[in-house]
Structure 1
Amino acid sequence: MSKSMWQGVIPALTTPFAADGEVDHAFLAKHAKWQIEAGCIGVVPLGSLGESATLSFDEKVAIVRTLVKALGDTAPVIPGIGSLSTDEAVRLAKACEAEGARGLMVLPPYAYSTDWKEMSAHFRAIATATKLPILLYNNPIAYKTDFTAAQIAELANDLPQIEAIKESSGDIRRLADIQALIGDRLVLMTGIDDAIVEGLAMGVTGWIAGQVNAFPHESVALFERARDGGYDAVKDLYSWFLPLLRLDTVPKFVQLIKLTQQCVDWGDERVRAPRLVVEGAERDAALKVIEDAIKSRPEL
C-alpha cells in the first residue's frame, strides 16, 4: 500500500443510528459515498467520533462490511481498532482485514492508561496480527495515554507496517519532534479540526476530520488551499469554518457534529447512551454557531 492512502482528507465517520437504536447501514453507505464524491480519499469508521466504545464486536465488523461494499475500489476503509482488551483488539483487526479493510487506525486500549511497556506490547500485538498498513493514533486528551515522539519513533523503526501517525495531542510542537527523530518515515496527520491549517504548516499531509461529516466540500477546499498556499490562501475560509471546527474539540463533540449533520440534512443527531442529545442553553449555543455558519456559507 502506498503512503498516498494517508495524504488528504479522511472523514472520521459518525455512526448513524435508526429510531430503534440499531446501526442505520443504508444511510452509512450513502453518507460514505457522499464524502468520497466531495473529494475525501478514504473513510475511518469506528473511531471516537464513531462511538466505537458503545458498539459491539459484531456491529463493528458489520459496519466495515457495509462500507467496503459501498466504496469498492474507489477509496479505502480504515477502521479504528480500539478495545478494552488486547485480545479483542487483535481479533477485531483480523476480522476487519478479512472484510476488506485496507488499513487500520490503532488506538491505545479504552479505559486503561498505563506505562510504555504495556502500551508498546498492546500496539505490537495488533500490528503483528495483520498485514494491513497502520495509522498510529495518539490522543492523550481522550485516552490518557501519550505516545511521546521517541516512543513513536521506536514503534516506526521496529514495525514497518506503521505508515502514518495521527498526532492529536494538541501540542503542535510534537510534529517537529517526530520529524527530528525519523524525518519523513511516517506520514504526519492530525485529528484536531481546529488545528488543521497550523498542522499543515508543520508538515502534516493528512487530516482525519470531524466536521467533514456535515461539510465535506468545505473541508476538502480548506485542506487543499492551505496545503498549496498556506494561511494567506485560506484565511477567509478558515475564519468562517473555525466556529464549527471548534465543536470537534469539546467533550460532547459527537453530539455536536451529529447535530450539525442534522442541520444540513445529512444525518440525524441520535447518539447511543451514555451520550444524550444536547439540550437547553448548550443546544441553543451550538445551534447558533451552526445556523450562522449555514447562513454565511461561502461560495467555493
Structure 2
Amino acid sequence: MQLKGILPALVTPFDSKGAVNLEVLADILEHQLKAGVTGFVPMGTTGEYYALTNEERRLVMSTVREVVGDRGTLITGANGTCTREVIEQIKQAQDCGYSNILLAPPYYSIPTQEELIGHYQAILDAIPDINVILYNYPVRTNVEVGYSVLEALADHPRVVAIKESSGNLLRAIEIGENYKGRVQLSCGSDDQALDFFLWGATSWISAPANCFTGMVCDFYNRISSGDILGAQDVMRALFPVMAMMEAGKFIQKVKYGCELAGFNVGPGRMPLQPLTEEEKTAFRKVYEASQG
C-alpha cells in the first residue's frame, strides 16, 4: 500500500438537532475530490470519533465508503481504551468496507512500550486482512509510539505507515531517515507539513484540508513537483490560520473554517463548547487573509 497525497482528516457534520448530517458530509466529500485529494480519513480526532455512538460511526464510515467508492484511498480510525475494544471497532470498520486502519495507542490505560507492542501485535494476529497506519499523538493519548515499537513493527508487511502528530519535528526527521523503505511517513503535524515533505513524507493526513482544500492540494502539487519555493508560499499563507488552530479549540476552529468555506457542519459535541464571537472574529480575520 502506497500512501500518497492529501487525505483530509474528516470532520463529522451535525445538523441543528445534533444528529450526524450525512448530506453535508457527502457534499464535503465531493468538493474535496474535485479539489484533488487522494483519499479520506474519517473517525479520527477531527471527526470527534470519541463523541459518536457506534451506530453513528457506522453511518459515517458507510457514507464515506458509498460516496467515494474507488475514487480515493480510505483509512478509518478504530480506537478504544483496550485491545478488545479496538478489535471490535476494527471488525465494525471491516463491515463498512475498510481495510486500512489508523491506530493510536489505547488511551487512559497508558501502556508501556512493551505492552503497546503486544497490543498492536494482538490486533494484527486477530485480524489478518487489514493494513495498519500507526498514529503517534501523545498529547491525546499520553503514550508515545516509541522507537522500540517502530523497530518491532517496521518490517511487518501490514504495518505500512505512521501518522506522526507529536509536534516534534526531530522525530519526523529521524523516522524519515531511519525507517525509509520500512515505514512510510505521513504528516500529522499540520504546521510542519513543509518540513515533513522535505524529510521524506509522502502524504498529509490533514485537518486543514477540510476548510482549505484547494490550498492544501496546491501545496502538495507544488512540493511533489519540486517547486519548493512555491510550496513554501502556500504554507506561508496558511501558517497564521494553522497557528491559531493549534493555539486551542482546534476542532471548533476547523469546523468554523468549514462554515466560512460554505459548509454548515454544526458545532462540536460536548464537552467541546462553541467559539465565542470574539474567537470567531479573530479566526475569520486570519482565514480571510489566507485567501488573499
- Asked if these proteins are the same fold (TM beyond 0.5), I'd say yes
Structure 2: distance between partners of 1:172 and 1:138 = 13
Matches of residues 93-104 of structure 1 in structure 2 within 5 Å?
A: 93-104=90-101
Separation in structure 2 between the aligned mates of residue 111 and residue 248 of structure 1, nearest angstrom: 25
Tell me the percent identity: 28
Q: Is structure 2 residue 206 aligned with structure 1 residue 214?
A: no
Q: Paired residue for 2:276, among 264, 275, 279?
A: 279
The answer to whether the aligner puts 1:68 opposite 2:65 as a matched pair is: yes
Work out whether 1:235 is the aligned partner of 2:232: yes
CA contact (8 A) 2:65 2:74 kept: yes
132-141 or 254-263, which moves further after superposition? 132-141
User: Which deviations, in whole Å up to 9, do the C-alpha atoms of 1:87-125 show, x marking residues without a partner?
Assistant: 121011111112111411111113332311222222223
CA contact (8 A) 1:113 1:144 kept: yes
1:141 aligned residue:
139
* Mapping 1:190-201, distance limit 5 Å: 190-201=187-198
Return the alpha-carbon distance in structure 2 between the equivalents of residues 19 and 84 of structure 1. Answer: 30
The one-letter code matched in structure 2 to 1:254 is I
Q: The residue matched to 1:244 in structure 2 has which SS?
A: helix
Rounded Cα–Cα distance in structure 2 between residues aligned with 1:42 and 1:155 = 24
Contact residue 93 and residue 129 of structure 1 kept, 8 A = no
Letter in 1 for 2:214: H
1:153 matched residue in structure 2: 151
Does residue 132 of structure 1 match 2:91? no
Q: Distance in 1 between matches of 2:232 and 2:5?
A: 19
1:180 deviates by 4.7
The residue that corresponds to 2:20 in the other structure is: 23
Bigger CA drift: 215-224 or 230-239?
230-239
Taking the aligned partners of 2:175 and 2:232, their CA distance within structure 1 comes to 27
Give the corresponding residue for 1:91: 88
TM-score when normalising by structure 1: 0.91
Cα shift at 1:128: 2.9
Contact 2:117 2:152 in 1 (8 A): no
Match of residue 170 from structure 1: 167
What's the CA shift string for 1:12-56, capped at 9, x where partnerless?
Answer: 000001111111111112211221221111100010000111111
Per-residue displacement from partner, 1:238-275 (whole Å, max 9, x unpaired)?
21111122244244110001001101112334111000
The letter for the 2-side match of 1:141 is: V
Distance change >3 Å, CA 44–CA 194, structure 1 → 2:
same
* 1:48 is aligned to 2:42: no
Partner-residue secondary structure (3-state), 1:165 = strand
Offset of 1:230 from its aligned partner? 5.1
| Partner AA of 2:92 in structure 1 | A
Aligned partners of 2:113 and 2:146 also within 8 Å = no
Aligned residue in 2 for 1:255: 252
- The count of residues paired between Structure 1 and Structure 2 equals 291
What CA distance in whole angstroms lies between the structure 2 residues aligned with 1:64 and 1:101?
A: 8
Q: Given the two structures, how large is their TM-score scaled by the length of structure 2? A: 0.93
Unpaired runs of 5+ residues, structure 2, are none
Q: Which residue of 2 aligns with 1:9?
A: 6
Q: Deviations over 1:119-175 (max 9, x none)?
A: 222222333333121111011122211112332121223x32011111111122213
Alignment of 1:286-297 (within 5 A): 286-294=283-291, 296=292
| Displacement after TM superposition at 1:282 (Å) | 2.8
Which residue identity lines up with residue 34 of structure 1 in the other structure? H
Separation in 1, partners of 2:211, 2:223: 20
Structure 1 residue ranges without an equivalent (≥5): none
Q: Which amino acid aligns with 1:101?
A: Y
Q: CA RMSD in A?
A: 1.7
AA partner of residue 143 (structure 1) = T
- Structure 1 residues 72 and 225: alpha-carbon distance in aligned structure 2, compared to 1, 3 A threshold: same
2: distance between equivalents of 1:179 and 1:95?
A: 32
Whole-angstrom CA distance in 2 between matches of 1:200 and 1:171: 15
**Contact in 2 for aligned 1:32/1:71 (Cα 8 Å):** yes
Distance 1:137 1:80 in 2: 9
